[in-house]
Structure 1
Amino acid sequence: MKRLAGKVAVVTASTDGIGFAIAKRLAEDGAAVVISSRKQKNVDNALAELRKLNLNVHGLKCHVSEAQDRKQLFEETISKYGKLNILVSNAATNPAVGGVLECDEKVWDKIFDVNVKSSYLLAKEALPYLRREKGSSIVFVSSIAGYDAFELLGAYSVSKTALIGLTKAAAKDLAPEGIRVNCLAPGIIRTKFSKALYENEAANEAALSKIPMGRLGTSEEMAGVVSFLVSEDAGYITGESIVASGGMSARL
């Protein structure tokens, strides 16, 4: 018996990188998984790849900042599978680099709208469905930058700190109902999103110098953590942020 058999999961921003790896792993572990992305083409390509593996997946376009898209995401999940057990909120953006107090107000608003507000709204809108099922859970994808801000990702780092706080607050609220809320805080993972941290030799050396394990992480390693957090193996874990960073320091 696969440990997520009979579960239904929604994973946002799940057609590439960490999100795609999470969707793939949850499906491999037995869940029916609904993937999404801002672009339908990306959804179609990801679905084709996952279905080649005979995985039970569905997908649709969803811009997490759009209320109608979020509504459709959950309504279509219920229409297709009849229930929702797991929400993984992975969508994030970082349209500019610089120190936190150098950030333009419009850029700040964009980062917090996608990274924090949308995560909050997704969880709130998923809650009526999660309440119907025993052992439901939510996972927010934060970052080690939420503990120790990256120099050129000031506003992004603060948004990821906010997700750690959201995890703790929501976990306390929902624990009496049996709904667990946890957080994944990846270190430097080799994805398109983080390529600026490793794409040239100097950047790569600087990144590796901060990682005791001496290598970047993989999306598959992050997916394994999430699969654990949403499984019954983690049934007594809520309100926690799991740092998967190859040993990088993570202290608030």
Structure 2
Amino acid sequence: MTSPLFDLSGKVAVITGSSRGIGFASARLMAAHGAKVVICGRKADACEAAAAEINADPGFDSGEAIAVPCNIGRKDELQTVVARANERWGRVDIVMANAAIHPWTGSVLDLRDETFNKFMQVNVQSSIWLAQMTLPGMLERGYGRFIMVASVVGLLGDPVTGTYGLTKAADMQFVRNMAMEFASRGVCANCIAPGTFKTEMARSQWEDPAMVAWYQQRNPSKRFGEIDEIAGVALLLASRAGGYINGQTIAVDGGHTISFR
């Protein structure tokens, strides 16, 4: 039996990058708690497969999913995602901006303008677009949840992944700004900042024995995260249970960011 605090029956969630990994686990868990979910990612077949898996689960009484392929760096495609949600269910109550790119690493001295602009458009501006497309409806209904998936590299300095971290720090500031503007009107905006999880984006880390040894030495939990451990936090922030959490960045990192060693 679903607790009323976590019940998402009647709510509609748009989750970017949800055909696999953290996004799919979050979509599946929200659907299990009653939400209608829009699965979006760049590959149509992967989106369709993810939506089909959710719809085939007999345990999801009211949860349902549709697939809408989307490149979040293209505003018109994001508009199509939101339009499809509204056409199907008449609303968007929850946005989880999970998709991001990490196409380059290196010194800021070598950062090219076009690379920086691509980072910012996909990782930051796309979330602003989504907010502009969905928050008016949330404010009208007096209920909304805007969840951004950032990263602990937005909290820490790094000479190699600094540009990616810069975009994630921007995400954290964006939810603080939204909380100040919209919290009194029923809309909560928060960030989840994952440590290293076994996702495709982090494959170069968890397949590197030297990185694994370093991470296990520094991280108090001595392991990488499991995807469901992010999904649980996403469910909390999407539901009534998270209604008094606003403008926060929650590090889900096994204690990595609190470790001095």
Task: Verify same fold: TM over 0.5.
Answer: yes
Q: Distance in 2 between matches of 1:116 and 1:146?
A: 13
* Large movers: runs of 4+ above 4 Å: none
Pick aligned residue for 2:208 from 176, 200, 214: 200
1:35 aligns with 2:43: no
Matched with 1:219 is 227
Residues 1:218 and 1:100: Cα distance change in structure 2 (over 3 Å): farther
- Tell me which residue corresponds to 1:26: 30
Structure 2, unaligned runs of 5 or more: none
Matched residue type, 1:179: V
For the residue of structure 2 that corresponds to 1:209, the secondary structure is helix
State the secondary structure of the residue aligned to 1:182. Answer: strand
> How many equivalent pairs are there?
251
Q: Which amino acid aligns with 2:134?
A: A
Local SS of the residue matching 1:215: coil
Structure 1 residues 10, 74: closer, same or farther in 2, change over 3 A?
same
The whole-number CA distance in structure 2 between the counterparts of 1:209 and 1:100 is 28
Alpha carbons 1:149, 1:158 under 8 Å: kept: no
1:112 is aligned to 2:120:
yes
- 1:97 to 2:105 alignment: yes
CA distance in 1, matches of 2:165, 2:109: 12
Give the TM-score normalised by structure 2.
Answer: 0.91
How has the CA–CA distance of structure 1 residues 145 and 250 changed in structure 2, closer, same or farther, with 3 Å as cutoff? farther
Pick the aligned partner of 2:75 from 56, 67, 86: 67
CA deviation map 1:15-50 (0-9, x unaligned) = 111111111111111111111011212211212222
Q: What secondary structure does 1:97 align onto?
A: coil
Which of residues 169, 180, 184 is equivalent to 2:177?
A: 169
Distance 1:129 1:109 in 2: 30
The whole-number CA distance in structure 2 between the counterparts of 1:60 and 1:149 is 36
Q: Which residue of 1 aligns with 2:188?
A: 180
The 8 Å contact of residues 150 and 171 in structure 2, kept in 1 or not, is answered as yes
Does residue 1:230 correspond to 2:238, yes or no?
yes
Unaligned runs of 5+ in 1: none
RMSD: 1.6
Percent identical residues: 32
Give the 3-state SS of the residue equivalent to 1:25 in structure 2. Answer: helix
- With 43-52 and 14-23 compared, the bigger mean Cα shift is at 43-52
1:250 deviates by 5.6
Distance 1:23 1:149, change over 3 A: farther
Match of 1:76 in 2: 84
Normalising to structure 1: TM-score of the pair?
Answer: 0.95
Look up the match of 1:49.
53
